[in-house]
Amino acid sequence: MRFSLKTSTHRLMVAASAGAMALVANHPANAKEENVDWTVYPEMSRERALPQIVASLRGSLTDAGSITNFLICYPPVKVKVKDGRPVRWTIMLSLNAKNQYGGYSGNQGMAAVFYPDKPVWTFSIQGPLPGSILAGCTRVPDAEIQRLLTQ
């Protein structure tokens, strides 16, 4: 038997459910803000984010000391705002570092996910970043990354 939306009662229930989901999704207290002015939130600044990102990479990469060609991409993506404050945001990265075999893996895309009350979570996106994201990235000198790794 195939499912069908033939009854008007059923169609009304589906429409009401869809409307309720749209209201919840668009409620300002829980909105996903793609166009948030991140510059008004100091916690989202490059200056605050970079040391946290490097600390996370120190614990997650096989050889964090080998990081080279580090790019940090702004503005943050996937920003979630609640009660007028950012509660989650993601900063895209690109870097090259040695893998478990001792060779460089090539420039790989990564994401750093921030929450105000948790350590930064970094993970690989399993390949290079697309050009549209790379266009918004700036290179961080290797010496600065090495300095942050030793802090």
List the chain pLDDT tens, one digit each, 151 residues.
333 333 443 343 334 333 333 333 333 333 455 567 888 888 899 999 999 999 999 999 999 999 999 999 998 989 999 988 899 999 999 999 999 999 999 999 999 999 998 999 999 999 999 999 999 999 999 999 999 999 9
Integer Cα distance of 5 and 1 in angstroms: 13
- Distances from the Cα of 91 to the Cαs of 20, 32, 33, 81, 98, in angstroms? 31, 15, 14, 15, 22
- Alpha helices per DSSP H over the chain: 8-26, 46-60, 131-134, 142-149
Beta strand pairing call for 137-140 and 63-82: antiparallel
Kindly report the pTM of this predicted structure: 0.74
Beta bridge partners of 52: none
